[in-house]
Structure 1
Amino acid sequence: MSSAFRYTNVLKIKGQKVESYVGWKNKLLVSHSNGRFMIYKLTKNEQKNDYGLEKLSQHDKFTKKGITQMEVLIQKSILITLHDQVVELFELNNMVNFQTLITKKALLFSYNQKKTICVGINRKLIIFKWEKSNFVKKKEITIPDTPKTINFFSANKLCIGTKREYLLVNLREENPKPLFQIGKGGIPICTKISNNEMLLGKDRMCIFNDSDGKASREFGITWSEIPLNIFYFPPYVIAIFQNNIIVRTLYTNKYVQTIPISYTKDLKIIKSTNQSAYTMDKEFIWRLDAIPVNEQIHNLCEDGSYEEALQICNMKNVQGIDNLEETINTIKITYAFHLFHNKKFKKSMIIFSEVEIDPRRVLALYPFLVDFKLLKNTDFLIPETKNLEKDVQKIAIQNLIDYLTKIKKKSELDNYENKEEIITIIDTVLVKAYIKTNPGLLLPFLRLKNSCDLIETEKMLKKKNLEKELIALYKSKQKHREALELVEKEATKTNNLYQFIKYLENLNYEYLDLIFEYSKQIYQIDPTQCLEIFTFDNKTDQNPLGRNLPKKKIKKFFKEELPILEVPYLEYHIFNLGDKDPEFHNELLLSYQKQNEIIKKQMESETGNNIRQLAQKGIIYKKKMHDFILESKYYTPGKILTNFPMDDLFEERAILLSRINQHEQALEIYINKLKDSEKAEQYCIRHYNKDGETKDIFLLLIKKLLEAGENENQKESGNEKMLEQSFLILERHIRKIDPQKVFQILPKNIKVSKLVNYLRAVMKNLTEIKRTMKIKKNLYKSDYLNLTVERVQKRNKSLKINENTLCQVCGKRIGDSIFGKFPNGILAHMGCIQDKHICPKTQKNFNIYKDDFNFKNGIFFFF
């Protein structure tokens, strides 16, 4: 194992007592027990590749006694010192006293680079924070015992070591929380790993704790004996013992190096930079320098300490690494393979998903799962993984599934020229992985869009008799005929059409021929369910067109192949979807008429119950046809009439004639064919329009009734009957018929006595009309006079102002300026009025007067 540090004695101290020392930039500051303070500059001998110290300055009697603790606050270039129970601050540039924090009883201190200092005094912690130009005392916190170590977790959390236990102190809560006992050694040992983690000593073990006081890792670091102190020098943990210093890796706890520096009473490690530190024994102060970064990384990887190697790469301001990102990627890949071969599959796959690596290299780790014909590159084969036990294989495959699922979403795949080929391999392997570990996930996977190799996947599914999954595969690959063959087979076997219908319902217009072909088979079993295939739609916000099946092609298909479904299909489009296509309306109406004819013919050859059933059916169809003729506005009446029989469906023909304004022919049907004057009268009521072409429709009805009376077999009685009906209609609708035109069509030989009632009704009606018109005339006249008076009154209003009249908005005199007066009496300068309809003082809107103002002699008024 190569070393992590090179160590050089840089200063001989034999015969002198050094109390403390600290590194700062390229200098070493040393305090002796007699109060002398020395500043040395670091020098390097390039030939021997070692270091020495050159004295820069010496300060005798710098303190009364030696400085027992000193640290550098780098951001402010300030030296923090503890001597004679006093905490003082000095400016490093000139070693002048900057500030005194504590004047007595100080035991130790700690600081962080967030400019916070904590000083321990007996059973108290005193907190100072930097404000503007110096440190200000913020608070005192009482703790249960005297502190022996103080370490900052973060800006607001401290770990305190006493003789008996460790304490966690939150500066915001000020309530110390006990962690655990120190142990038999009675020496509290603590070093900071990160803002959320500390390493605490307990006998021969060091335990990782988070900032909440809980164990942060399942493992700790165990030493051969109780360490006297520990330090974290990323990525290493350095432990000081009686006779030497031991270096281990933090994450893997591997032994790295022994440094043969013996213990002295005040032995400690003082870091100078991220790459160097100082320590001492009885004779020398030693400098520890980390070996070059590239060499460290190489050695750590050779030893399997990949996490430590990565930690070095991720250190802030790391230098000496060419192509840092590429180096990190390479380390992670090697680490992932290392983990896989050590059966740590989960972590291995997590790292693989983070790095840039051809996924086929990962798949090559699974020869028991992957067909290497897919990989097309046998260089990826790693035979050792063939020997994995079945249970271990299952775990390995489950983690591979997670990796492949993540990698499919990564944009890094876009960098590969053969991206589609790689995704095909991934999806095909996923199918086999699901088959081996969790077949229940296979169906949802295949139902989604996938890139599985059709032939390979088909073989796997057929081998396992997974028909549902095979159907899903075919469907995802647009192999609908193959899928429908399996669906049809299953439907025939179980006598359940649900899945068969659902499959066809989800096919769009591109597969209309397949829908037609397979719907015939469903039609033979259940025509009603067959119709659902063509009426189902899957419109969504993302797919507003839905299936977009061509309705006219479907109508033609029904007419030629599945005639029973033609009418229900037309009804669905018209009544459910509100289809206004004249062709569909015409087809439905003619279908009703055709069905009516068919039923009539069937009734001619049937008897008993059958004829009653057919009659009932005929009534239903005739009502449908009648209602549709009456309500629909979109069929073509002329076209329908040419297909209607002349000797049947008279009322329906009359309605059709009305649609083409053939009212005379329609009325002839009601009177001569149906012999129903009431329906004829109702027809006229529906179509009468006093200002349109049908204003004389009632006159036409009277004419047709009289003509019909003349054509009766018993002419005289027929005339009498029709005359009576005519006069009754005339009386009921007297205001809708011109009397002059009535007399023109009445028979010449009609008796005057027959006309008496009608003439009285006419006279009464004319009198009422005359009286109504007179009343209206007088009302209009009265309204006109009232409006004229009101207009005159408004226009005759006047307004008097004098030289003292003030504008009620600005308060100044109006004088000879243009002004305005609002209906509420407010006077204002023209310049003070922004809107002529809105009072500038009350903001009331007088827009109703917008047309009632004038300009006169430079003055304008609002009325």
Structure 2
Amino acid sequence: MTVQLAWAVQEELETLLDGSGHLRTLAFLYASKGMSSKALAIWRILARNYSSGLWKDPAAENGLDDGNAYISSGREIAATEASKILEDSSDQDMVLQHLGWIADVNQVLAVRVLTSEKRTKQLSPDEVIKAIDPKKVDILQRYLQWLIEDQDSDDTRFHTLYAVSLAKTAIETFEKEHSSKSLDSRRLQGVNDTDIRRDSIFLSPVRERLQIFLQSSDLYDPEEVLDLIEGSELWLEKAILYRKLGQETLVLQILALKLEDSEAAEQYCAEIGRPDAYMQLLDIYLDPQDGKEPMFKAAVRLLHNHGESLDPLQVLNTLSPDMPLQLASETILRMFRARLHHHRQGQIGHNLSRAVDIDARLARLEERSRHVQINDESLCDSCHARLGTKLFAMYPDDTVVCYKCFRRQGESTSVTGRNFKEDVLVKPGWLVSR
């Protein structure tokens, strides 16, 4: 009887609130009773029909004079309350059903719903990606970023999709920033480059996010991304991708000629770790192709920083006849001096090594040829039997044993228990004095 009465009161209250237009209060009532679907339906109605007067909020009406701001604020409130319900829900169908209208109001709230960790069962990434509006690129990118960085997803599909999506956005942004129409409009309107995508939910520029991801992930398909940006001006991104593919020459050409970043080019040569990489970079500077003038200053910088590791004769053969000698003469002279110095150092090191080897051989010979005197009173240090005319052996620590004990002990461990393989014995006479 009590339960029936409670339901009757609730139904009467719902009818009263619905009839009087207090849908906001009714939505809160449904939410408190766990009737999420009904609550969400009301918040959706309020968000879409706010200007029609369905929302009864006198406090908000009196506090906002601007009609547009009033409507916008009301929609934000509806989306916020709906997102709170969806963040806790594991009902995938219900979440994806209401994702669209929440995203239309506020993309940050939509991302919060998709990436919520309050729910007991996470949503299917494949279904979520299908449900995201293709025009809402920021939501897709933020969700993929969450999957990869926060959920440690190693699915190559998601890594490639994220890289491709970032690349597309980067190309679009770059073209907008560098189009003459965009430049003229920004001059007239006083709009900065950073305002082009002012509605983005990201704080960092898209190219920065793209470059960081391309460098940090090894799970995306670099060829697919490269096919997309091949005809664009995203040269640093191309260098990163060519590096992933092991195309050293193309990386050096981009760093040296397109970006004119000598420091980055030299650093890449250092990472390659071969002297021929520096020679290859020198060739690029001196013969840049496509009618471009030789980059003599960059070439001199390279010789100045890394000339000591290069072959002077090979460098001389590579230098262009048009290169002013005064630019490189001092550097080349220093290369020859360094080469001669290294050669002499090598000779000294070789002779010292040879001397050490001779000393070691001599010490070993002396140790092997030293004599041991045995008399009638000499005893085996292990079994204490008289040695007499028996065969015997002597360990490096000068202990003497009969051959029988030697067979039992082995050649590595003496009577004292010392293992000469693990605890090497070094006598003063064995040390090299040079």
1:571 Cα deviation after fit: 1.5
1:644 Cα deviation after fit: 0.7
| 1:573 equivalent in alignment to 2:147 | yes
RMSD: 4.5
1:765 Cα deviation after fit: 2.0
- In structure 1, the partner of 2:87 is 501
Gaps of 5+ in 1: 1-434, 437-457, 466-482, 540-545, 713-717, 853-863
Structure 1 residue corresponding to 2:350, chosen from 777, 800, 803: 777
Structure 1 residue corresponding to 2:320, chosen from 744, 747, 751: 747
CA contact (8 A) 1:690 1:736 kept: no
**Paired amino acid for 1:656:** L
Structure 2: distance between partners of 1:463 and 1:687: 81
| 1:703 equivalent in alignment to 2:276 | no
Per-residue CA deviation, residues 690-741 of structure 1 (Å, 9 max, x unaligned), is: 765xx433333333333349935xxxxx56xx33432332232213433333
Q: TM-score, normalised by structure 2?
A: 0.64
1:756 Cα deviation after fit: 2.9
- In structure 2, the partner of 1:487 is 36
**Paired amino acid for 1:501:** E
1:757 Cα deviation after fit: 2.3
1:788 Cα deviation after fit: 0.4
1:547 Cα deviation after fit: 5.0
Name the structure where strand makes up a greater proportion of residues.
Answer: 1
Structure 1: distance between partners of 2:398 and 2:425: 18
1:622 Cα deviation after fit: 1.8
Structure 1: distance between partners of 2:106 and 2:340: 71
- In structure 1, the partner of 2:372 is 799
The equivalences for 1:338-737 within 5 A come to 486-490=35-39, 495=81, 497-504=83-90, 512-513=92-93, 515-517=95-97, 519-520=99-100, 523=103, 527-528=107-108, 530-531=110-111, 534-535=114-115, 547=121, 550-558=124-132, 560=134, 563-600=137-174, 604=182, 607-609=189-191, 612-614=194-196, 620-644=205-229, 646-674=231-259, 676=260, 679-688=261-270, 692=274, 695-708=275-288, 711=291, 722-737=295-310
Q: TM-score, normalised by structure 1?
A: 0.35
Looking at both structures, which has the greater relative contact order when contacts are Cα pairs under 8 Å and sequence separation is at least 6? 2
CA contact (8 A) 1:484 1:500 kept: no
- In structure 1, the partner of 2:60 is none
Per-residue CA deviation, residues 437-464 of structure 1 (Å, 9 max, x unaligned), is: xxxxxxxxxxxxxxxxxxxxx9999789
Structure 1: distance between partners of 2:4 and 2:383: 95
**Paired amino acid for 2:374:** I
**Paired amino acid for 1:635:** Y
Structure 1: distance between partners of 2:33 and 2:206: 37
Secondary structure of 1:735's counterpart equals helix
Percent identical among aligned pairs is: 17
- In structure 1, the partner of 2:49 is none
- In structure 2, the partner of 1:738 is 311
Per-residue CA deviation, residues 141-193 of structure 1 (Å, 9 max, x unaligned), is: xxxxxxxxxxxxxxxxxxxxxxxxxxxxxxxxxxxxxxxxxxxxxxxxxxxxx
CA contact (8 A) 2:242 2:250 kept: yes
Secondary structure of 1:622's counterpart equals helix
Structure 1: distance between partners of 2:83 and 2:325: 79
Q: Compared with structure 1, are the counterparts of its residues 536 and 827 closer, same or farther at alpha carbon in structure 2 (3 Å cutoff)?
A: farther
Structure 2: distance between partners of 1:685 and 1:728: 13
1:825 Cα deviation after fit: 3.7
In the alignment of these two chains, the number of paired residues is 355
Q: Compared with structure 1, are the counterparts of its residues 578 and 773 closer, same or farther at alpha carbon in structure 2 (3 Å cutoff)?
A: farther
**Paired amino acid for 2:167:** Q
Name the structure where helix makes up a greater proportion of residues.
Answer: 2
CA contact (8 A) 2:171 2:229 kept: no
**Paired amino acid for 2:190:** G
CA contact (8 A) 2:396 2:425 kept: no
1:836 Cα deviation after fit: 4.8
Q: Compared with structure 1, are the counterparts of its residues 683 and 633 closer, same or farther at alpha carbon in structure 2 (3 Å cutoff)?
A: farther
Per-residue CA deviation, residues 347-396 of structure 1 (Å, 9 max, x unaligned), is: xxxxxxxxxxxxxxxxxxxxxxxxxxxxxxxxxxxxxxxxxxxxxxxxxx
**Paired amino acid for 1:757:** E
Secondary structure of 1:696's counterpart equals helix
1:514 Cα deviation after fit: 5.3
The equivalences for 1:788-827 within 5 A come to 788-814=361-387, 820-827=393-400
1:524 Cα deviation after fit: 5.6
**Paired amino acid for 1:652:** E
**Paired amino acid for 2:286:** L
Per-residue CA deviation, residues 216-257 of structure 1 (Å, 9 max, x unaligned), is: xxxxxxxxxxxxxxxxxxxxxxxxxxxxxxxxxxxxxxxxxx
Gaps of 5+ in 2: 11-31, 44-77, 427-434
**Paired amino acid for 1:707:** D
Q: Compared with structure 1, are the counterparts of its residues 818 and 621 closer, same or farther at alpha carbon in structure 2 (3 Å cutoff)?
A: same
Structure 2: distance between partners of 1:826 and 1:464: 105
Structure 2: distance between partners of 1:486 and 1:564: 31
